[in-house]
Amino acid sequence: MNAPSMHGERHGGIMLPWRTLFLSAGAVVAYLILGAAPEAWVFDRVAIAQGEWWRLIAGHWMHSDLMHAVWDIAALLLLGTLFEARLQWRLPWALLVATVGVDAWLWWGDPALQYYCGLSGILNSLLIVGLLQFWRDYRHPLILLTGVGAALKIIVEINAGQALLTQTAWPSVPTVHAVGFLCGLVFIWGIWMVGNNLRNPCAL
């Protein structure tokens, strides 16, 4: 049997990636209204410790400068357009799980870090979730090579202490990319395990 089409169809037409468009529009509006690194919305360790918990979510959707916003939002649009038809409801859940995982790392794994903003950490989660779903559906070697390339890029960035492709007003945090990547692995593994157990209830 052929694998399902990459693009979901509804009433004979291509289904728009409305979740991705909604999230991307929100990020654009946030930058246009709040500007670069808005003080009240970025991850700020001291402010969070004082009870400003919304920063744990909002900080991922803020950006340090215009090019930071352009790179991140463009990547979100690209990944979402590629993967949303395959992932559907799993797309926002993957981003949410990555948000929790990255926040946990920022708080306990890197206590010296005082400030953080940007989508790149959780986008690495979306990347690996989408690639693994594509691999399960299509088994094309290019998918595997892309995933390996993404992992190698993160390793090089961690060793270099900076992002390879972008220079932003705030220093990049490559370890966050690795954490997002690992969160994606855990998320898709959990989804597959639940799906297998539902199909084979005797295994429970």
* Of 7, 26, 28, residue with least CA distance to 16: 7
What pairs with residue 191 in β-bridges? Answer: none
* The pLDDT of residue 72: 97
Q: State the DSSP H helix or E strand holding residue 56, giving kind and residue range, or none if neither.
A: helix 55-58
Looking up residue 152, the CATH number of its domain turns out to be 1.20.1540.10
| The one-letter amino acid at 121 | G
* Cβ-proximal residues to 60 (8 Å cutoff; 6+ apart), any chain: 43, 99, 102, 117, 118, 119, 121, 122
The answer to whether position 198 is within a domain reads: yes
Give buried/exposed letters for 42-65 (b at 16+ CB in 10 A, else e): bbbbebbeeeeeebbebbbbbbbe
What's the CA gap between 156 and 61, in Å, rounded? Answer: 25
Continuous segment of H or E residues that includes residue 115? strand 115-116
The predicted pLDDT at position 115 comes to 97
Condensed to tens digits (0 to 9), the pLDDT of residues 70-82 reads 999 999 999 999 9
Burial tier of 191 (Cβ tally within 10 Å: 0-12, 13-18, 19+): middle
How is residue 43 written in tokens?
A: 């991850």
pLDDT of residue 11: 42
- Taking only the tens place, the pLDDT of each residue in 168-196 is 899 899 999 999 999 999 999 988 887 66
Residue 84 in this model has a pLDDT that exceeds 90: yes
- Residues 34 and 69: their CA atoms lie apart, in Å, by 12
Is residue 4 assigned to a domain? no
Q: Is residue 23 part of a domain?
A: yes
| Percent residues over pLDDT 70 in the chain | 88
* Domain interval for residue 18: 14-203
Each residue's pLDDT tens digit, 26-45: 999 999 999 999 999 999 99
Higher pLDDT, 149 or 10: 149
pLDDT of residue 82: 96
pLDDT for the residue numbered 13:
53
Q: What is the average per-residue pLDDT within 6-13?
A: 46
63: left (phi > 0), else alpha (psi -120 to 50), else beta? beta
Asked whether residue 136 is assigned to any structural domain, the reply reads yes
Q: If you average pLDDT over residues 99-109, what whole number do you get? A: 97
Residue 3 lies in a domain: no
- Residue 64 in this model has a pLDDT that exceeds 60: yes
Q: What value does the mean pLDDT of the chain take?
A: 90
> If you average pLDDT over residues 21-27, what whole number do you get?
97
With a pLDDT cut of 90, the percent of the chain lying above it is 79
Q: What is the mean pLDDT of residues 147-165?
A: 92
What's the number of domains the chain is made of? 1
Report CA 201 to chain centroid distance, whole Å.
32
Q: Is residue 68 part of a domain?
A: yes
Distance CA 72, CA 171 (A): 15
Would the pLDDT of 199 be above 90?
Answer: no
- pLDDT at position 34 is 97
pLDDT higher than 80, residue 197: no
Which of 149-158, 163-172, 188-197 is predicted with the least confidence, judged by mean pLDDT? 188-197
